[in-house]
Chains A and B, each alone.
Chain A
Amino acid sequence: MRIFIMTVAVAIVMSCQKIPQLHTPQLHTPQLPVPNNTRSAVDTAKKGLKTVKEGVEVYEKASEELDERQEHYVGRAVAAQIFAKYPLHSDTELRQYVNLVLQTLVLHCDRPETYGGYHLAVVETDVVNAFAAPGGFVFVTTGLLKAVENEDELAAVLGHEVAHVVKRHGVKAIEDSRFNSAVGGFILKKAGEFSPRELAEATKIFTESIGDVVKTVLESGYSQDAELEADREGVVYCARAGYAPDAALTLLERTVGKGEAGNFSTHPGGKERVSRVSQIIEGRRAPVDPKRTARFQLMRARIAH
């Protein structure tokens, strides 16, 4: 009997155990305030205060309406828009090399497994820039490959872009109004096939959402806070992987000095950013490995100057 009781007790304890901290995105339904005429004026006033708080909550959580799979389809559409603007570089060996740098950093980031994984494209343009579309689609321009001087500087740029994916800055650029409408909320949660009317509505919301992300990624750039976060995280991924943590600073200092920073149109590279990155690095400097620089130079020679 004692064994029986103990078994039951152990079983009850086990069934009460919580699983460890799995990073499961929780879906949140924005709770929009609904006027309630039966409440007193005091209640209404209190509710008004709560609304403000809820408003903040809604703003913070709107992007979480999209699960990882949905983020992937947003990413694909944004990536398609980038390809509509810039052609893919045809040198597969060069792409493979840059991809290896990217995948190395991914192993050391805090979100190594997105729904569809991380992917890289080198696009043909003299514009010096790099972009990240949601879900893990990372782009670097041939202009950027000419502007960086070694693999560690390239890793600094890619680490920054990986951080935008890790922190979901892309989907956070989607206007909250897309999710807050009753119809939008319903469609984003609906599992299974859409009726023709729902499909039209969902496609409209999708198109508008892609527009928001493309505008941010390709034109206006992320907020200062998002950029600061990406700078900070990017340096961490590089250091973990074994790249020189100060390569980001070296690149910024050089480009600002030469006036090339303006070309990083979506990554403002002013003196303010230089001092910010300098603070992040806090004197953590490491030598750039000559073997890495040698393989970088071999690859870069493949791009016509």
Chain B
Amino acid sequence: MRRTSVSIYLSLFLAVVNAQEWTIKARKTVLREENGVWAQELAILHEGDNVTACMKDGQPIKEGKWLQVKFGGQEGWVQETAVTDQKLETTRRRFTDSGGTSYDEVALATKGFSPEIENSYRGQNPNLKDAYLLVDEMENDFHPPLRKNSEEERQKVRVLRESLEKFRKDGNLKSRGDLR
């Protein structure tokens, strides 16, 4: 009896050790209810967020290009290209909030070509100032970099999915390709 309970504790411990953790490597991606781009959004995931793989027979569950994962008590699907099995390095960085107060926060370490280099490049090329504003505007049209998990962000993602779905139906386009 005692051995059985020891083995149960041990198996629980090993199950936790074995839990496959992945990190979101895209700036933003969506946790969906089902494994398809037309499925409802459950949550917006951001770069550096950790998700746990759902397992079956000791293997992570994968359907096509989608992985089934758990995040914040929810179970859903993410595109596999948005996920990495490597730990992303972090660093302490100094931020300044809108009120001008500076504070330190743990952030993902930016490697090589980073915002820091972009700022330096922009400093050396003042003629690109307006052009960079247009790039920001271009990025804001879809996938806007909004505050983490804000309602506004969720709303934008939902509207995008619905507008794409309407566009697809109106144009008699396919929901899923069957070539290759």
Contact = CB atoms under 8 A, between A and B. Distances in A.
Contact of B138 (A19, A20, A65, A121): A121
B128 interface: yes
Interface stretch (B82-90, B98-106, B146-154): B82-90
Interface in B94-144: 109-118, 120-121, 124, 127-128, 130-132, 134-135, 137-139, 141-143
Interface in B159-178: 160, 163-164, 167-168, 170-174, 176-178
* Residue from A95, A116, A191, A295 whose CB has the most chain B CB atoms within 10 Å: A191
Given A79-B135, A83-B131, A191 B174 contact: no
Interface string B6-42: 1100110011011010100111110000000100000
A70 B143 contact: no
Q: For chain B, give the interface size range.
A: 35 or more
A8 B7 CA distance: 8
Given A115-B27, A121-B138, A191-B91, A7 B112 contact: no
B58 interface: yes
A240 B179 contact: yes
A191 to B, nearest CB: 4
B62 interface: yes
Given A11-B18, A236-B179, A119 B143 contact: yes
Nearest to B137: A88
A116 B143 contact: yes
A24 interface: yes
B121 A188 contact: no
A82 B132 CA distance: 10
B173 A81 contact: no
Nearest to A79: B135
A207 B121 contact: yes
Contact of B58 (A4, A7, A14, A96): A14
B22 to A, nearest CB: 8
Contact of A289 (B143, B160, B172, B178): B172
B171 A117 contact: no
A137 interface: yes
B155 interface: no
A65 B111 CA distance: 11
Given A7-B7, A74-B113, A113-B82, 8 more contacts: A11-B18, A23-B81, A65-B112, A69-B110, A77-B121, A95-B141, A115-B26, A243-B173
